[in-house]
Amino acid sequence: MSNAILVIGGGIIGMLTARELALAGARVTLIERGETGRESSWAGGGIISPLFPWRYLDSITMLASWSQAHYPQLCEQLAHDTGIDPEFTPNGMLMVADDEIETALAWADRHARHMEAVDRNTFHTLEPAAAHPPMRGLWMPEVGQLRNPRLAQSLHADLVQRGVEIRERLPVTGIQVRNALCRGIETPQGILEADQVVVCAGAWSGKLLGDLTMAPAIRPVRGQMLLFKTPPGTISRIVLEDQRYIIPRRDGHVLFGASMEEVGFDKTPTAGMREELLALVRERFPVMRQYPLVKHWAGLRPGSPAGVPYISQHPEIKGLFINAGQFRNGVVLAPASARLAADLLLGRAPVLDPTPYGWLTARG
Ligand SMILES: Cc1cc2nc3c(=O)[nH]c(=O)nc-3n(C[C@H](O)[C@H](O)[C@H](O)COP(=O)(O)OP(=O)(O)OC[C@H]3O[C@@H](n4cnc5c(N)ncnc54)[C@H](O)[C@@H]3O)c2cc1C
DSSP string, 225-263: EEEEE--TTSS-SEEEETTEEEEE-TTSEEEEE---B--
d(CA 45, CA 274): 16
Quick check: 95 and 52 in contact, CB under 8 A?
yes
Q: Is the CB of 144 under 6 A from ligand 1?
A: no
> How far away, in angstroms, is 329 Cα from ligand 1 center?
10
Expressed in angstroms and rounded, the spacing between residue 267 Cα and the centre of ligand 1 is: 12
Nearest to 148 by CA among 73, 48, 223: 48
Alpha helices, DSSP H only, in the chain?
Answer: 12-23, 40-43, 58-82, 101-110, 120-126, 148-161, 205-208, 271-284, 330-346
Q: Whose CA is nearest to atom 2 of ligand 1?
A: 44
- d(C-alpha 274, C-alpha 143), whole Å: 27
317 CB within 6 A, ligand 1: no
Ligand 1 site, residue 64, Cβ cutoff 6 A: no
**23: CA distance to ligand 1 center in Å?**
23
Distance CA 201, CA 209 (A): 10
Q: Is 261 in the pocket of ligand 1 (CB under 6 A)?
A: no
Mutation test of ligand 1: which of 39, 40, 240, 326 has the most ligand atoms closer than 8 Å to its C-beta? 40
Distance 39 CA to ligand 1 centre (A): 5
* Backbone angles phi and psi of 217, in degrees to 5: -85, 70
The answer to whether the beta carbons of residues 311 and 328 sit under 8 Å apart is no
User: Maximum distance among all alpha carbons in the chain?
Assistant: 66
- The pLDDT value given to residue 37: 98
323 residue type, one letter: N
> Among residues 219, 181, 189, 200, which one has the least CA distance to residue 323?
200
Quote the CA–CA distance of 120 and 134 in Å, as a whole number: 6
Q: How far does the centroid of ligand 1 lie from the alpha carbon of residue 100, in Å?
A: 30
pLDDT at 364: 67
Domain positions in the chain: 4-71+149-218+305-357, 90-144+219-302
pTM: 0.97
Domain 4-71+149-218+305-357: CATH architecture, name and number where available? 3-Layer(bba) Sandwich (3.50)
Report, in angstroms and rounded to the nearest whole number, the Rg of the chain calculated over CA atoms: 20
Helix (H) or strand (E) holding 141: none
pLDDT at residue 361, rounded to an integer: 79
Query: Based on the number of CB atoms within 10 Å of its own CB, is 150 exposed (0-12), middle (13-18) or buried (19 or more)?
Result: buried
Query: DSSP for 90-111?
Result: ---EEEE-GGGHHHHHHHHHHT
Domain 90-144+219-302 class in CATH: alpha beta
Domains 4-71+149-218+305-357 and 90-144+219-302 share a fold: no
Task: Answer yes or no: is the C-beta of 248 below 6 A from any ligand 1 atom.
Answer: no
Separation of 95 CA from ligand 1 center, angstroms?
25
pLDDT at 100: 95
How many angstroms is it from 110 CA to the middle of ligand 1?
A: 30
**147 C-beta closer than 6 A to ligand 1:** no
CA 225 to ligand 1 center in whole angstroms: 14
25 Cα: distance to centroid of ligand 1 (angstroms)? 26
Ligand 1 binding pocket includes 314 (Cβ within 6 Å): no
Per-residue model confidence as pLDDT tens digits over 178-207: 999 999 999 999 999 999 999 999 999 999
Low-confidence ranges of the chain (pLDDT < 70): 1-2, 362-364
**What is the predicted pLDDT for the residue at 363?**
67
Check the CA dihedral 256-259-260-262 and report its sign.
negative
Other C-beta atoms closer than 10 Å to the C-beta of 276 total 14
Which of 35, 39, 66, 150, when mutated, tests ligand 1's pocket best, judged by the most ligand atoms within 8 Å of its CB? Answer: 39
